């Protein structure tokens, strides 16, 4: 079954939905356009299952609070526990990394297919982080079964209400109930 990495989580509605769907990873953007550290801690108290990561930030007011996040056992991508690389770097990347997960960016399905053999040999979880349609993501997921998919959280329509129809279609097509 395809694994998922839910990125840019900023509210409890997304966090609970993605947790219930069984995503492997969930990351939160802190500060600036993201959420506060207290809000982050409040949200993660409500979820179980996924690995939790913090999306890198240069907000100095948030950086001073990273200690409490690290002490709670959450992963900080700025320390390269989660690596994000573009398709142009795949052939040059040091593949013996000790990353917990790798987010791969690409602009075409052809770029992904060109690396299908490499991706099929990896034990570190790799997630495609690209702006593809659901149909394209389903095609790639079926062609390269161990390549996961990164999906984005988004804003609520109103507090506690959000339409998940489009993402539900992706989950259902890839065998999630």
Mean pLDDT of 136-154: 88
- The whole-model pTM stands at 0.82
Among 29-43, 79-93, 108-122, where is mean pLDDT lowest?
A: 79-93
Cβ distance 164 to 134 under 8 Å?
Answer: no
- In the chain, where does DSSP find H-type helix? 12-21, 37-44, 60-63, 66-71, 109-113, 116-120, 134-143, 165-173
CA pair distance 108, 141, nearest whole angstrom: 14
Mean pLDDT of 117-134: 84
């Amino acid at each position: 079954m395809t694994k998922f990495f839910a990125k840019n989580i900023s509210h409890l509605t997304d966090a609970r939905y993605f947790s219930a769907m069984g995503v492997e990873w969930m990351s939160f953007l802190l500060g600036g356009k993201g959420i506060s550290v207290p809000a982050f801690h409040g949200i993660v108290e409500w979820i179980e299952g996924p690995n939790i990561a913090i999306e890198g930030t240069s907000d100095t007011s948030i950086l001073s609070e990273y200690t409490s996040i690290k002490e709670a056992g959450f992963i900080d991508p700025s320390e390269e526990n989660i690596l994000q690389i573009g398709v142009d770097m795949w052939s040059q990347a040091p593949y013996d990394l000790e990353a917990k997960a790798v987010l791969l960016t690409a602009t075409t399905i052809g770029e992904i297919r060109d690396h299908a053999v490499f991706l099929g040999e990896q034990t570190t979880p790799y997630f495609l982080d690209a702006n593809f349609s659901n149909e394209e993501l389903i095609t790639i997921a079926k062609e390269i079964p161990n390549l996961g998919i990164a999906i984005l959280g988004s804003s609520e329509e109103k507090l506690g209400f959000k339409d998940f129809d489009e993402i539900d279609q992706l989950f259902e097509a890839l065998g999630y109930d």
